[in-house]
Structure 1
Amino acid sequence: MKTLTAQMSSDGRTWRLYVVLFGESGWPTVRWERPGPVPTVAERRRALAELGYEVASGAGWSWSEDSRDPDDDSTPVLLIAAVEVREREGGAA
């Protein structure tokens, strides 16, 4: 079964989880309107199910850091998480 990438990121005010669909103008997205805490794995699993996806067998979340200005290490860090997902059988919950 084809896998896709789901990512979760925060701008310091909200968390967004989205499934990357290259070539599409709108990506399936869930938002948590809170700066913290980081959405739990269970919250992420439920959000993916709402969008019609599930974590691919054997996949795990990985985290990376980014910055709005990579040349200035004093700017706030942006956290980005990623995991491989697949469409759930039967689609969205």
Structure 2
Amino acid sequence: MSTWRAQMASDGGPWSLYVVVYGESEWPTVQWESGPVPTGAQRREALASLGYELAPGAEWSWIEDSQKPDDDSTPVVLIAAVDVREQEGATA
């Protein structure tokens, strides 16, 4: 079964979770309007709503970046990533 990369990002505003599907002009996306970092359960539910699930053994990894590369005085952008696969019987 094929795997894709799901990413979740925020620069202090809303959180966006999306599945990177190369060759597509729009990627499957879920956005949380505000609040704290979405929980693991909320992320699983969001992925399921898009027709995906975590790949076996996959774990979220986190990195941080800045809004302007090479300028650490700009706000931090947090980015999480995990491998996902289509849910059994789902059409994404």
TM-score interval, smaller chain: over 0.9
Counterpart in 1 of 2:41? Answer: 42
Three-state SS of the structure 1 residue aligned to 2:48 is helix
Q: Which residue number corresponds to residue 6 of structure 2?
A: 6
Runs of 4+ in 1 over 6 A off after TM superposition: none
Instruction: Report the TM-score, using the length of structure 2 for normalisation.
Output: 0.95
Number of equivalences? 91
Unpaired stretches in structure 1, ≥5 consecutive residues: none
Does 1:17 pair with 2:21?
A: no
Q: Give the partner amino acid of 1:42.
A: A
For 2:31 and 2:76, the matched residues in 1 are separated by: 19
Alignment of 1:47-62 (within 5 A): 47-62=46-61
Question: CA deviation digits over 1:1-53, x for unaligned, max 9?
Answer: 1100000001321000000001100000000000x310000000000000000
Q: Which residue of 1 aligns with 2:65?
A: 66
Alpha-carbon distance between aligned partners in 2 of 1:26 and 1:71, rounded to the nearest angstrom? 29
